[in-house]
Amino acid sequence: MSAERNATAIAHPNIAFIKYWGNRDQVLRIPANGSISMNLDGLETRTTVGFSPELGRDTLTLNGEEIKESGLARVSTLLDRIRGQAGFTDYAQVISENNFPTGTGIASSASAFAALALAASTAAGLALSEAELSALARTGSGSASRSVPGGFVEWYPGEDHASSYAASIAPPEHWALTDCIAVVSEAHKATGSTGGHAVAETSPLQAARVADAVRRLEICRTALLERDFEQLADIVELDSNMMHAVMLTSQPRLLYWQPGTVAVMRAVTEWRQAGLPACYTIDAGPNVHVLVPSEHAPVIAARLEEVPGVLEVLQAAPGGPARLVNPG
């Protein structure tokens, strides 16, 4: 394998404060609405890509296990886009490791496709801008667009491939927030987000959710920039509840919550009413992300561990952008 067609990149997953749910273009992943998220420090995907004329096909190894069929096809589609732009046809060997458990509701596709887009485009010799890289990652997994820039990030929905990308709205050090992730189930979810996006439009509530998105984005952006936790907490919970209302009223109906999910939602609501700053947000899975100002994280994490159904609590501060790792 020639040295110049090899690269390694690291990217963090992210937690959405304002959610991406539903696409205007399912293939390109042009979203129905904009979204805002925070990268998760300490959790990461590290991916090495090597293109070589000696390979007979693309291969993908994830956490030491060879992945075939749909997982590999999704990676090859992104590689094809890069090969097309770089003007060569060599296949690639992709080796990827997550330092966090896959399928626990921590969006591994976000860090996976952000790291893949950066490693593969670099290995192919393309020098992409951050916006181009974010748009490229988006085609692999929508939320991956938000794992390319650092810190607190907004994905502008755009209208076509080039205009749908994410950018940082504040660096990681802007606000010491901690995401306390209450893991309530490690089982693999039945319907992944790609399938969920495809049925979002079947809910009579989706149009109202999308129509109100610009307002929620504005409130969330301002709360972030002003470090106003009360405002942030209210809008984050409203947005998560609206997405789950769409999920629950889609065809087929999507219910991601487990008893432990609801127990955490109730506990967090009580704690906030009692004056403890904490709010919840839930993705397409049963685990609950509890956002807190970092000085309260030890107390909240300890309390979360006592909630019935909670298996473990992970903690993540705001994380940086996707980055290349020097060889050796």
Q: Which residues bind ligand DP6 (CB under 6 A)?
A: 16, 19-21, 29, 35, 107, 109, 141-143, 193-194, 197, 283-284
Residue 39 near residue 320, CB atoms below 8 Å: yes
Please, which residue, 6 or 35, has the CB nearer to ligand DP6? 35
DSSP string across 14-76: EEEEE----EEETTTTEESS-EEEEEBTT--EEEEEEEETT-SS-EEEETTEEE-HHHHHHHH
Task: Please state the closest distance from residue 328 (CB atom) to ligand DP6, in A.
Answer: 33
> What are the respective helix, strand and coil percentages of the chain, to the nearest 5?
40, 25, 35
What is the closest distance, in whole angstroms, from the C-beta atom of residue 193 to ligand DP6 in the complex? Answer: 4
Q: How far is the CB of 20 from ligand DP6 (least distance, A)?
A: 3
Report the candidate in 45, 43, 48, 42 with the shortest Cα–Cα distance to residue 328.
Answer: 48
Cβ closer to ligand DP6: 19 or 221?
19
Distances in Å between the Cα of 108 and the Cα atoms of 18, 24, 45, 111 are: 18, 23, 8, 6
User: CA–CA separation, 267 vs 284, rounded Å?
Assistant: 20
Q: How far is the CB of 88 from ligand DP6 (least distance, A)?
A: 27
Using CA atoms, how far apart are residues 91 and 54, in angstroms rounded to an integer? Answer: 8
Cβ nearer to ligand DP6, comparing 83 with 197: 197
- State the nearest-atom distance from the C-beta of 276 to ligand DP6, in Å: 26
Tokens found for residue 158: 């755009």
User: Based on CB atoms, which residue is closest to ligand DP6, 135 or 303?
Assistant: 135
Residue 59 or 194: the one with the smaller Cβ distance to ligand DP6 is 194
252 cis-preceded (ω within 30 degrees of 0): yes
Q: How far is the CB of 148 from ligand DP6 (least distance, A)?
A: 13
In the complex with ligand DP6, the residue whose CB is nearer, 101 or 125, is 101
